[in-house]
Structure formats: C-alpha cells, structure tokens
Amino acid sequence: MNKSLTLLNLDSNKIQSRGVKSLAKVLRRNRTLGVLSLRGNAFERSGVMALAKALRGNFWLTELALEHNQIGSEAVQHLRFAARRCLTITT
C-alpha cells in the first residue's frame, strides 16, 4: 500500500465504471490520498456508487473532482451523504 501519495490526477483517461470500482476498493484502505481528480472520464452512476461506498470509511480524502462524467445529480447526492464530512466534490 502506498504511504506517501497525497494527490492523484486521472483526468481524461477514459476510465469507465469498472475502473472506478477498482479504484474505490483501494480508497477503502488508503490513508494518505487527499485529492482525487477524475474529470473527463467515461464512468457513470455505478462507478459513483462504488466511490460512495468507499468514502463511508475514508476520512482522508478532502477533494474529489468529477466534472465531465455521466453521473447525474442523484449519484452525487449519494456521494455527499456517504462522505458526511468536509469533502469538496466538484461536478
């Protein structure tokens, strides 16, 4: 497990929901990442739902950028509810 990465920019990498689900598994255990940018990828609601589940137990992420994905406002609300803390989410 990485112990020093604090910012991860994965903008415009054509990441689909399957890839975001894999990333969400890592976020459940990560204790250092503070900023995650996933702008301009190709994931949808199911990817966001996996992120929401991972964020329930992750208190280290403070910024999450999701602009230019097909996620919808309902999925964003799930994220905000799951985080329930000081997490800035941009969509």
Asked if 55 contacts 29 with a C-beta cutoff of 8 angstroms, the reply is no
* Domain tally, the chain: 1
Paired tokens of 18: 């399957």
- Residue 30: which CATH number? 3.80.10.10
Instruction: Determine the pLDDT at residue 17.
Output: 95
The answer to whether residue 2 sits within a structural domain is no
Boundaries of domain holding 16? 7-90
The answer to whether residue 34 sits within a structural domain is yes
In the chain (91 residues long), the average pLDDT of successive 10-residue segments reads: 87 97 93 95 93 88 91 86 76 78
φ, ψ dihedrals at 22, nearest 5°: -65, -40
